[in-house]
């Protein structure tokens, strides 16, 4: 459920309403396409000076603006000077997400005069943690999990998904003819949509046929939406896909509720449209729209006269929206918040790996 709120209506820390901790999960900034199709008029990399899949100048600026926005929002939570005890930044191991994290942090923590190492450079280095994709179960969520793969394959081969593919056959045939590719699944459709969208946002002229399916063709939009919902389509899948990430979030907030004061006040995660879609789907708040460049999910822990509650927001290019979990108001009591995620959370990677190997039920 989305509720639009104005930029001036943010909750601010007061003596009775104090922001204790926050988690920000953002998509990278604008990028060049990373896939092409056989009839693509822009498939030669010379059309994309920064290289395929790389962040553009617009994307860099958009991420910097996000960092400035976060500084304004969390000015009472975070000191103006960077210190590692206050923030931890994690990125997937991809150029565009690493660069996006760097630029976001530049906007969030401009160096004080005391921190400048060069008067001509208004920037300071801040560490970003990352893991190779094949080993990353937390953020890239690409570390192989036998149980997840079996469950996901079962879903893709289910009568429900087969029926959807049959219903989409006319769309698949049209796209196959126009692109020269073999389009047989919603994942194939999303790749074409993604490429067309990247071209459009980069002010490239689209082929005439593209306007029949992009951006407002309902069948294509439904196929793209389904592609983003499938990885966390049910709680079993979400438990193995986003469970470690939500485990980190719940643990962080629990530390502050317990007044341990040993964790960073802010966790910043730099990911992809699929990262945000997986998180939104797990929470039951995905609105069928592909998360736009530099969009962000914010989870915030507050204290009010001894009580603790969580607010969840989604920021994109059109505004900032309140998100509500099932059975929880916007000011979600922390006990209800943890209860909602109890079936999802993975306590640690060792437990996750044990569950991944447990396929005896299949």
Residues marked as catalytic:
28, 273
Q: How long is the chain? A: 362
Give the separation between CA 293 and CA 271, rounded to whole angstroms: 10
- Spatial distance between the Cα atoms of 194 and 179, rounded to a whole number of angstroms: 13
b/e for 305-338, b at 16 or more Cβ within 10 A? eeebbbbbbbbbeeebbbbbbeebebebebeebb
Q: Of the candidates 107, 49, 92, which has an alpha carbon nearest to the alpha carbon of residue 269? A: 92
Q: Are 269 and 252 spatial neighbours (Cβ–Cβ below 8 Å)? A: no
Contacts of 63 (CB under 8 A, 6+ apart): 26, 28, 29, 55, 99, 100, 103, 104, 107, 294
| Farthest CA pair distance, the chain | 64
> How far apart are alpha carbons 292 and 34 in whole angstroms?
16
């Amino acid at each position: 459920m989305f509720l639009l709120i104005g930029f001036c209506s943010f909750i601010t820390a007061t003596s009775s309403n104090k922001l204790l901790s926050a988690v920000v999960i953002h998509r990278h900034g604008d990028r060049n396409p990373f896939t092409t199709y056989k009839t693509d008029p822009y498939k030669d990399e010379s059309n994309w000076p920064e290289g395929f899949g790389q962040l553009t100048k617009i994307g860099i600026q958009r991420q910097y603006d996000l960092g400035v926005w976060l500084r304004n929002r969390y000015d009472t939570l975070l000191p103006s000077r960077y210190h590692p005890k206050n923030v931890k930044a994690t990125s997937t191991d991809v150029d565009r997400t690493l660069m996006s994290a760097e630029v976001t942090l530049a906007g969030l923590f401009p160096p004080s005069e005391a921190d400048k190492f060069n008067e001509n450079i208004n920037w300071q280095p801040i560490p970003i943690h990352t893991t190779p994709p094949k080993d990353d179960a937390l953020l890239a969520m690409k570390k192989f999990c036998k149980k997840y793969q079996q469950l996901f394959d079962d879903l893709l081969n289910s009568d429900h998904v087969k029926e959807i593919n049959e219903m989409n056959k006319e769309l698949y045939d049209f796209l196959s003819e126009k692109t020269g590719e073999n389009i047989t699944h919603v994942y194939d459709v999303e790749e074409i949509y993604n490429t067309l969208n990247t071209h459009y946002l980069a002010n490239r002229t689209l082929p005439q046929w593209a306007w029949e399916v992009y951006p407002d063709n309902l069948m294509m939009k439904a196929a793209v939406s389904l592609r983003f919902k499938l990885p966390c389509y049910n709680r079993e899948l979400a438990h193995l896909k986003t469970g470690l990430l939500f485990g980190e979030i719940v643990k962080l907030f629990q530390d502050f509720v317990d007044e341990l004061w040993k964790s960073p006040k802010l966790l910043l995660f730099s990911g992809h449209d699929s990262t945000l879609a997986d998180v939104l789907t797990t929470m039951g708040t995905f609105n069928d729209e592909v998360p736009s460049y530099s969009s962000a999910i914010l989870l915030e822990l507050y204290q009010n006269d001894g009580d603790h509650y969580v607010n969840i927001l989604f920021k994109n290019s059109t505004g900032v929206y309140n998100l509500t979990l099932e059975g929880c108001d916007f000011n979600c009591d922390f006990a209800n918040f943890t209860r909602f995620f109890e079936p999802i959370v993975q306590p640690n990677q060792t437990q996750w790996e044990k569950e991944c190997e447990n396929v005896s039920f299949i």
